[in-house]
Structure 1
Amino acid sequence: MSTTPDTDLLSLHIQQGALTGRRDGGVYRFSAIPFAQAPVGDLRFKPPVPAGSWQGTRDATRPGPIAPQLPSRLANVMGDIHNEQSEDCLHLTVWTPAADAKRRPVLVWLHGGAWQSGGGALDWYNGAALAEKGDLVVVTPNYRLAALGWLHVPGETANVGLLDQEAAIQWVVENIEAFGGDPENITLMGQSAGATSIACLMARQARYPRVIVQSASMGRGFWSSADAASLAGLVLEAAGAKDLDHARTLPYSTFLKAQQAPQVVQALKEKGAGRALFSPVVDGEVIASDAADILPEVATQADVLIGYTQDEMAAFPGFDTGPASHAVGDRIFGAPSRQWAEYAARAGRKAYLYRFDYAPTECFGACHCIELPFVFGTLCAFQDAPMLHAAPASHMEGLVDTMQRQWIDFIRGGAPETSVFPHLTTFK
């Protein structure tokens, strides 16, 4: 480790080479660190290949691109995403109080977005506040989205977006000590698609002592191989791809447009499952079983802080804050969360259950994603989010402090104020 003449810069060495990061508040941020090679050309649709080394010192002071994606279906709730997009997106961001030998607890964040949108590099998920307040190392990886990460073609490796997540975590295990983190003390945290991905990762390898699971859509289940292959065939046809080799030569924008093709939209509607077009697939190899089948196993593997929001479905078209929407939200998000906590408690794991009830607007209530600004302390990044419109700043800042203290207590192996299952703690 060395500090450059500019005290806002910090340089360090990892296995791949030297890096320079920049101060972000009271911590240092290292941006756009590659954990895998750019998945382009022959590597498109294939499992991630570890990134190689570089010569000289890599500039990690500027955010990199996020995965190619269409506008989020929750843009009218959370706000728009304007970040640069590129297939060369298999990067992660690290925040650390100091690159020393302290071996701090490590938090790895997996973003949501229905496996179609989002990115670890978004300002929404800036880890500076959590890293500083909790004396933690925070890591936020990108992973491949939509067709580029979750297209299922029989005979080919499925769920490569999940394998991206796994590769990022392996990078953390191998490199995080250089950032002052403890590779043996990693907490995995995710929301929505990211939270559901945690269950998939745990089913593949029991390596996480603690997990934080926010609004996991376990009640929707995963795509069967047959259904996913059927949809993939329609997407490839809409993209004009003769076969997968041809598909590897097409611009990524072709696949984004294909997602909106009438025949694809109609086929998804006919499935009647209320799922995203792309999501985890039960392929028998990367993912062996459906969500309901893996839940009893994965829930016993780690201590868990788990919860959901009171009005999950109010973020989605056709739903509101009424009883019917509550029932749907409870089936998809609430009941599986309580079941996870129950399985964990029965196995002797620490299990903390919460519900986020703060509802600043009548339209969205305590909708899906509304807890995110409070967990990360990124109210400024969410200042234009309709779901927080006209919310009083003083109340929001107090709620940030309340939630962050409890999340940090859990990450550090302590006992948060959040109630132990079966009791439910509500945040208002």
Structure 2
Amino acid sequence: MGDVPGPSTAPYFIQGRATENFSRLCQLIMTIFSDLFRDILSRYIKPADLRSELDKNRSILEKIMNHQQKELVYPSSGPGALTSKDLDISVIYIILRNISKLEKHKAGWGKHPKKDDKSVSAYIEMIRIKRNSVIGHLKTGKVDDKDFQCHWEKTEEAIIAIEKNLTGGDMYKRGVKQLLSCDLNPTRSNLYIWKCKTCLWELIKTICSDLFRDILSRYIKPADLRSELDKNRSILEKFMNPQQKELVYPSSGPGALISKDLDISVIYIILRKICKLEKHRAGWGKHPKKDDKSVSAYIERIRFQKYSIIRHSRLVKVDDKDFQYHWEKIGEVIIAIEKHFTGGDMYERGHPLHLETPITGHQALPLPRLGLGMPDGLASLKN
């Protein structure tokens, strides 16, 4: 891997490359590893069922947990509300290994995976082992360049492989790349908050698009995406414009396709027409009722916000009031969908909704002149 860690303006008491290497690996564990494990957990245990599943399997889990883990999951004060946000990697690993339907890797849980094992459980095991190896450096707080490169490459490989299996996207991959080169000074950098945090279009292109791909992966497995699209071609083509058709069903013949190749408008059509996602109360294509908290209602709200933002792109300017309105509305939707699917806060952290100071000075914020209107055929979709 040709990449090297970026420069740091970290506080003076962090001295030397070896210490910076250790800091980056710790951040990798605390942010990306943790988010990824929570995402995996949500695929096997629905967030709404987490507490009940843990209680149902208490006799199994308590045998394996240490005192601190038991107190976290089964506090002496009595069981209370619990989300994946409250759990660290070690606890999630125990849950995945012992009460989920995740098949063990070829070498068996708790052992080093075989080199040719590409299963999700093998990559989970690899991440766990690398995490423990990094923690082993706690006494010195240093990792030399050679060890850093080894840890980083192995864990990046595991993260990319798991993400490809789960969603077909590249959000975690981008997070790893960003962390490798970011400024470690906490006053000048913030993981998961894109540099263009004040640009509404960037919010749509990154976080909202990743969220839509994540939702899609929960209804159609990434490995089945091409076959599902082909099987439902006669349905989908009726609602796609020429550009969308050429993307999904190219005239040169169907090829490999992953969710990363699809934008929000195409994913919306797929979710609406061939997934078993129940429509919201007002019906697909219409503004949802204000009190509708269904996933489909939140999806619809993002779509309407997207087209509202596109209209602003023709004006080039977005005043403070409109900016704040769109930003908060989209943030509310992102948080609600994430709570439903994972119980985590990865997307919420990616959307800096709660800013310490008011957002100002965006009157002349340039947005892309894409010349996009409502995609052909979308307005005429039937419920």
Same fold per TM (> 0.5)? no
Higher share in helix:
2
TM-score for both structures, normalised by structure 1: 0.24
Higher relative contact order (CA 8 A, sep 6+): 2
TM-score, normalised with respect to structure 2 = 0.26
